[in-house]
Structure 1
Amino acid sequence: LRSALLPKVDTSMGTAGGDEKGGTEAAGSMLDGVEFASYVCHGAPIQCMCLSHDENLLFTGAADGSFFVHDVSVVDSQDKLRVREVAEVAGDFTEEILVTKTDVNKQSLRIEELHKRVEELKLNNEYQLRVKEMTYKEKIQEVRDKFGAELESNRRRYEHLLAEKEEKEKSYEEQITEIERQQAQECEDLEAQYQAKVDAEIQRYNQLVADREEQNRLWDIENKELLERHSLASQRVAEEHNKRVEAEQEAQRNLAEEKKEVVVRFKRVQAAFEHDAEMEIQTMKHRYDQRLKTEREANAKLKGENNVMRKKFLHLKKEVEDQKEEIRNLREKEKELLETIRGLEKDIQGHRKEIREREDTIHDKEKRIYDLKKKNQELEKFKFVLDYKIRELRRQIEPRENEIAAMRTQIEEMDLELEQYYKSNAALDLMIGELRLKMDGMQREIHHQRQRLQGTKAYIQSFSSDLHVCKTSLGDHRRLKIAVTGLYHKYVLAEKVSADLDAADATLDTTADVQRVYNKQREFLERNVDALKRNISKDVEVQGRDHSKLMREGAVLTKELNHLRRESNEMLIQRRKLLKEVVQRGMDPKA
């Protein structure tokens, strides 16, 4: 119940309800029983009611701007209040409406304010969109230039490293070939030289053996002669003694002492003879000692030659150390590359931060777009209200058709502006989708690079730990050989290395070991190059697949965008048709 009226005579009462039809109700005989008679006269709820001074007329006004005059002075035969519309007395409804000039001015001012607000929003939105588009274009161009320059520099550096690696491989192969040739020539020369020396030593040894046998034979002959002379002398002395015994048997007692002296002299002579024999033996021993000393000097000379060969071996060992120094330099270069990778990771973190900032900016833009969509919805609601009011005014006000046509033109302009807003929103959605796709691609590339870095680091750490284990075996070449063989079977294709070691010749064995180490290093480098080539080819294939995938997704998005554009155009055409039909219906007063 919105309002009620009670005349001075309490036989009737008029009420107005809150229904949307705008009906009035009349009640009579308030004391006996309340009976209502409802009359629908307005198209909207009644806002005000008023009785005339003589209480014969009831005036009602509704929210739709309609105004009715009711005759409430007639009472029927059943003593009930009869409410009659003026239309029953005066005929049809009036074609004019009473509107104050203040309402018209307020409505026009409101429309002008809304138009100004729409223009301001349009200009502001266009300006912000242009500024953001320019900013994004500049940032995208900067990022494209930056990453393009980095990619080009990395490509050039990779080509330079590849060319340098090929040159080093060629130089290493040439050096290895030259070293093999030199070593083979040296081995042949040394073998011939040592064979000649061995033959000479064998001849000298045979000569010395023959000389020794000859000296022994001569010494035996001399010893035999001395023994024979000694025996002959002994026999002669014995004969003389016997003769003397026979001749001087009588003077035996007197000559006993002389006999003793002779015996003593004989012993002295024998001792002197034995001493002379010993002196001769010592002389021969001294001579043979001199020969032995000469042989020892020859052996010392051979030892000096062995020292020369040992120096050559040490020279080869020094070359191996130089190779190890080169390996350490390569490790330092590897460390520099790792530092470069860390710098690139820092750049990636900076790019991630920039991407997060862009995501925040995109979020703000989406929020702004959402606010604009809300405002557009409010404008559409307001437009719908305006369309409704315009249709009502067209039904009721014929002289204002020109103003309504102007408002229709303005509405079409607003529709065009809304279409532009929709197009700009669609463009923003496409830009946001492209940025998201680029961000996803960058994240996938970063993840792939991280996986490659982790695999490379694990491989380097494993090889470094195994090489450190091999370093402990540098003193013992056999343990070093076993450790290097284990590295070969672990990091290179498994190949069975069989070599017959000659235990008698240590120098040739060491040379063969060094040669095998060189061969293993060369094979290891070749397999690393092959692995790098395979990784590069795989990366190129992955990039090609990602590019084709992005192209397919772009084609799908383009098809969806064209489909949405066609649907939008069809909806706009349908809306214009409906608007034309409404306008045509509004222009016809009898419709």
Structure 2
Amino acid sequence: MAAGAPARPHHIFGLRRGVARPLWFADERTLLLPAGRGCVRYDLEQRGQTFIPGTERSQGITAMAVSPARGYLAVSERVETGTISIYDLRHEPPRRRRVLSAGEASAQEFVSLSFSPDSKFLAGQAGGPDWTLYFWMWEKQKVVATVKTGSETSPVSQVSFSPQDSAQICVSGRGLLKLFRYADGTLKQSSHGKVESHNVLSHAWTSEERVVAGTEAGRLLVLDSGDLRWEMSVVEAEREGEQRRSEEVPPRVSAIVGYSKGFACSAGPGTVCLFEKTEERDAYHKTKEIRVPASLLPPCRRCISPAEESLVCSTDRGQLYSVTLTCSNVINPVFLSHSFHSDTITGLSICVRKPLAATCSLDHSVRIWNYESKALELCKDFQEEAHSVALHPSGLWIIVGFSDKLRLMNLLMDDIRTFKELAVRGCRECAFSHGGHMFAAVNGNVIHIYSSTTFDNVLNLKGHNRKVQAVAWSADDSRLVSCGLDGAVYEWSASTGRRESESVLKSCSYTGVAVSRDARSIFAVGTDSALREIQDCELLADDVTFTAIAMSGSGRVLFTGTSTGAVRAIGYPLPLQTDWFEYHAHSAAISKMVVTFDDQFLLTASEDGCLLIWKISGQKRDSETSYAEEVLVTKSDLEEKVMLELKTRVEELKMENEYQLRLKDMNYSDKIKELTEKFIQQVESLKAESQVLRREKEKQKETHEKTLEDLEERHSREQQDFESTHNQKLLLEYERYEELRLKSQRMQEDYEHRLQQVEEAGQRALEDITVSYEDRLQEKVVELDQCQEESCRQVQEFEQMKLLLEEDGDQEIHSIRLRYEKMLQEEKETNARLKADSGIMKKKCISLQTDVKERNTEILRLKEEQQKLEGVIRSLEKDVLRLKRDIQERDETIQSKEKRIYDLKRKKEELEKFKFVLDYKIEELKKQIEPRENEMKEMKEQIQEVETCSSNAEKLLQKDLMCFFLYQMESEAEEFHKKNTQLEINLAEMKHKLKATDKEMHKEMQKVGVATLHI
């Protein structure tokens, strides 16, 4: 087809089967594959295609090969003789550089091709009956060597070059695996593997001298320099034993491809195995096993990308699968682009409102394609063959003809679902009117017209004697044209069912019909290889070979398909001479073709199972007209989808909540860990301080005991000195007493009278003095007892007050802790309940998410305040502990004071003993008062001075002690009262904050309740 052709290939859905090594990577993102009559360069990322057309007289591609540098493509085609075309892949589109042939030899076809490592040579294995290997220097189009490699009993299936040696070639086939070396212009056999008992289907080089081959019996053979080194089964020993017991056919190793780690090979239907080299010299072990989804689709060929990241394999039913090799988990093959038809396409239809095309095939499937996005929208497999399909102009439903019934189906979002069945058996052709209000269904030689709204059979058109092959509606839907195997072309009235015109040629069985835009001309093609224009029931042109026909929307171009797979574009009105554009794209006869309503695309379907989209040149689409995007969805599907979305949302929310809870648990765990570490450090520090205080206490105790011992020793020494001094004085007084006694005896007589008077007076005075002093002493004793009782009472009151304060403080702290812990638990429960309510609110209404987030922020703020309150509680607990330590210190102080009181009591007892001695001395001196009055007065004065000094010392000591005790108790009570007042103030502030928090939480709960009522 010339550059100015009316249509050019745009995209093809399908793969040509029966090609040797059909898949090749041009680079990491481009795949070369055969489709139709030519090759396609397929962009794996952009999903675009570039067509490499075959020769005009080609009967199909037989083999392909790409040079190691991926710059050249060799394609073998079957024409009159086998030819090989070399394309330069570095240009866009690829250019044909050279065409190679067998020269004077008559090679019918080439079954396998291979480039040398330096891309200078090309090896081509010819088929039967000669089975000759050709060795080209392809740049010069020169055959430099040939050699016969096989025979009719030992056919050759594959040829390949060594990856490092351009002179070494390996060929394999039934009972043979030979190595040839090119030297001195000839190919000489260097070795012959002993594989006569094996049917070698494929082989691959894994190193410069090593070849791995696969057999029909499922065996893998490893040969080094042509010698068999290692052999194993492609399946495990257990599966091999099961196959022997069940007498199943062993898996065929139909393809092997090598890569850096080892090789990949097929292992029977739907299985691909990856083998890697082990540490042993000649051994390989299986690392992965890939299962193609359909077990009845055995992989036949495969290739690996240059980076060895992906594996692409094709199947015998024309499907392409891709596998990611870098995945370490279970490998799941996926379709490379889409699934294709694997058998003849029997029906093709398009719609107006959407860029959709419907096809049906003998592979029991119906497919919906999008010819603008080049994607497969829907696919449905059935239990029986689909013979015909028609797509409603709205693109929302289709009719499909089966052997038993005509089924009407809705095109849902992800399914094709039957909603009505009509009793039309063996419907080989069906078509909607352009308006979509009627459709025609063919049953044998009868055409049934149905209403698309009521599905009633409004007309039955009878007139054909044999099966009707095609029907076509006029542009205004007023007429219906039909053709059949009886050679008749009828024009029917769609309103009355009456036959308007007819044209009968019994020597021709018509297969296709088209109507011009003005409905004045009818075009028909049939088995007599002629294109006929029927105008006013007259034949105007013939002698052109066609199998299908379609008229463009503009009515200026007539497209026809031939039995060789070519598409011809003929201008209308038909020219008198043979003037048309022709393009060979399909490898088999075109069965159906149709032009889209906007004249943008031509769609052709072929018996090779390929659907080809052609871009029509010179036609611009109306930009104001847009395709419909609506799809049919059943209520149950919609509810199920909503349910699935809600379930997915619930799962997401659950995961999010679990993640948030885990984060909070982690945060709380970290905080607990930090607090625990902090408390442990504080406990350790307190223990250390306690140890230090305990040691200081021991030191102070030792110091105090030593001081007490020193005081006791000093006191004992002073007592001894006092007693010795007193005894000396008593002795001196006793001596003087003796002298005075002698004097008194001498003076007794003289002073008896006077003494009696003085004695009486002295006795009275002494009695008065004694009574007065005894009264004063008794008063002092009573006062001392009262002071002691008052001191004991105050000490007891202080102890009781201390115990009451401790109990009140402990109870208050315990009650506060219980109350705050309860409030904290209630707040946690409230927070949990609010979180649950918040989750429910999120599920029910998305519009409240913002408010819920604000409430969550408020809850976090309350939690922070709660943590602050907990910190205040902890600080108060620390204050209580400090107060307890202060109380303990006060107890120690009281104990020291009590000990001092005990020492003073001992001193008092000693003074009382001294007083008793003085009293005894007074009694003794009373007897000597008469002779010595002056001395008695002195002695009395001395006694009075001693008593006065003793009483004053005791009084001052008691007064000082009481004042000291009262001052200490008042100061301690005042300090404790201040601390208790501060604690009450702090507790009041905490209560106020908690009341405010409760009010805020109550307000938030009321807001959530109001939101719930609104929902």
TM-score (structure 2 length as normaliser): 0.26
User: Which structure shows the bigger proportion of residues in strand conformation?
Assistant: 2
User: Which structure shows the bigger proportion of residues in helix conformation?
Assistant: 1
